[in-house]
Structure 1
Amino acid sequence: MSALFGPLEADGRIPPRQQTRVSAFLLSAHGALARQFGLALPAKFDAAWQTELNAQLYRESEIVSLLMRATAWVPDLALGPIAASWEMAWLPAPIEGIADHALAQAVRLAILAHAVHAGIRPAALLPIDANADDPFVTALRRIEFESGRLLQAQILFLKGSDLLPFRDAVSAALERRHAEVRRLWSETLGSIGVVTQQ
């Protein structure tokens, strides 16, 4: 077990088996976010925070597209049941006390997105001597950069005045989501020989 991806290929690239498993996990998480943002996007905006849903939808879609093309895919027979468990984990979780359906949906989405963007740091696992010309390496660095930007919008929304009356419920739901995402990410990395500290 190692704290970083590898051992690297002779040309400094991340092994395709590790690329495949990590990309499958990231595609599952960001794909779920893109789908849920798409469903949450109203035909007409009634509140200022809804404009951010549009931006988040397209950024998540961009991450999915990038991963699909930048990964050196190899067959992974274990992915079927594993991916099914990931997809179940991304389903919306109820939050007590928010009667407005559109607001509750946006809060659930922001909580999941916050947990994904803050809890999954794939570029931090790149060895220093990883090939900078490897599209997968570049993609992971780009995703981490975008995650930082998206995280700022989620923080602003979750700490906004609209959610002040629901602060305790939102904080508890956020803590649960973070723990779940960290566990799934750690299990995924462990399955390819990468150990992380939780």
Structure 2
Amino acid sequence: MNQFLGPLDSSGRVPPLQQTRVSSFLVSIHGALARQLALALPGQFKAGWQTELNTQLHRETEIVSLLLRATSWAPDVMAFYNTLIWEMAWLPNPVSGVTDGRLAATIDIAALGHAAHGAIRPAALLPVEASADDPFVVALRRIEFESSRLIQTQIHFLKSDDLKPARDAVSAAVNDRHRQVRKLWAEMLDSIGIKHRADDE
């Protein structure tokens, strides 16, 4: 097991199958967030945190678009199975104990977003000798940079006054999504020979 992607080719590029597997996971989770945010956000905003989540919607879409174009895709016999497992995992799971259905769903989306941007550090997979001209390398670094900002959106919402009455349920939802995302991320990395490091969590 290795800690980093590779072995790199003579140009310092990550092997296409590793690119494909990593990007497939990231496209799946960020695509799910974009779809769910698009459905959950109301047509008329009534709270400041809704404007922040609207910004996240567009950032998630940008991440998916970036990965689709920056990845050197390769045939992957596990693609269908992995995608099925991941997409089922990201299905909405509205938080119990919250009477407002839209709010309960939005809490779950924010919890998933918190995990996607907090538990996954894609740039940490890159060895120092990875080519700075490789679009995939640049994309992973860009995503990690964006994640450091986007996680503030989830924190702003999850700690808002609107959610004070459901604080325990919110915390449980965040913890559950973190465990789920970490497990699936680690399994995906294991499938391409990468050891998931505890300090990446």
Q: CA RMSD in A?
A: 0.9
TM, length-normalised to structure 1:
0.97
TM-score (norm 2): 0.96
Residues 144-191 of structure 1: CA distance to partner in whole angstroms, max 9, x if unpaired?
001111001111111111111111111111111100000000000000
Identity %: 62
Name the CA distance, whole Å, in 1 between partners of 2:111 and 2:7: 35
Aligned to 1:11: 11
Moved over 3 A (4+): none
Structure 2 runs not aligned, ≥5 long = none
d(CA) in 2 for partners of 1:47 and 1:192?
43
CA contact (8 A) 1:20 1:74 kept: yes
- Are 1:90 and 2:90 an aligned pair? yes
Contact between 1:120 and 1:185, CA under 8 Å: does it hold in 2? yes
Cα distance in 2 between the residues matched to 1:46 and 1:175: 28
| AA partner of residue 77 (structure 2) | L
Mean Cα displacement is larger for which, 134-143 or 89-98?
A: 89-98
Separation in structure 1 between the aligned mates of residue 173 and residue 111 of structure 2, nearest angstrom: 7
| 1:190 is aligned to 2:194 | no
Partners of 1:169 and 1:15 in 2: how far apart? Answer: 42
**Residue in structure 2 matched with residue 72 of structure 1 by the alignment:** 72
- Matches of 2:176 and 2:73 in 1, distance apart? 32
**Equivalent residue letter for 1:182:** R
Deviation of the 1:39 alpha carbon: 0.6
Moved more, 17-26 or 40-49: 40-49
Give the 3-state SS of the residue equivalent to 2:61 in structure 1: helix
Letter in 1 for 2:135: P
* Deviations, residues 115-162 of structure 1 (Å, cap 9, x unaligned): 111011110110000001000000000000011110011111111111
Question: Which is further off, 51-60 or 21-30?
Answer: 51-60
Deviation at residue 41 of structure 1 after TM alignment: 2.0
Q: Secondary structure at the match of 2:48?
A: coil
- In the alignment, the residues of structure 2 paired with residue 124 and residue 97 of structure 1 have an alpha-carbon distance, to the nearest angstrom, of 37
CA distance, structure 2, for counterparts of residue 150 and residue 60 of structure 1: 9
Q: Distance in 1 between matches of 2:50 and 2:132?
A: 37
Alignment of 1:110-125 (within 5 A): 110-125=110-125
Aligned amino acid, residue 165 of structure 2: P
3-state SS of 2:115 partner? helix
1:93·1:108 contact (CA, 8 Å) conserved in 2?
yes
